[in-house]
Amino acid sequence: MSAVLIVLIVFAGLVLSLAIVGGTILMSIRLRHGGLSKKDRQQQVDEAEMIQEIYSGLSKMEERIDALETILMDRSGKEKEA
């Protein structure tokens, strides 16, 4: 019984070590090739473009708000003078 247990432990250790070595090799290959698939890279590009569009829209909105504030301040100043 103990011989069978020893053989199972040794076999499991070999399988585990082969899995670790194989996983390490696969991860190093993926990292060498950029780490991302073409689909993932395209998604990142799309997300970056979307964020840039949002930023641009927010900048334009800020300019509009500043212009509206100026208009409102001018109107309230004229009302106080009159």
- pLDDT for 47-72, tens place per residue? 999 999 999 999 999 999 999 999 99
Overall pTM surpassing 0.95 (yes/no): no
**CA quadruple 71, 75, 80, 82: dihedral sign:** positive
User: Per mean pLDDT, which range of 3-7, 19-23, 31-35, 70-74 is the poorest?
Assistant: 31-35
**H or E element, residue 14:** helix 2-32
Q: Checking phi first, is residue 34 left (phi over 0); if not, alpha (psi -120 to 50) or beta?
A: left
Q: How far apart are CA 79 and CA 82, in angstroms?
A: 5
Residue 82's pLDDT band, with cuts at 50, 70 and 90, is low
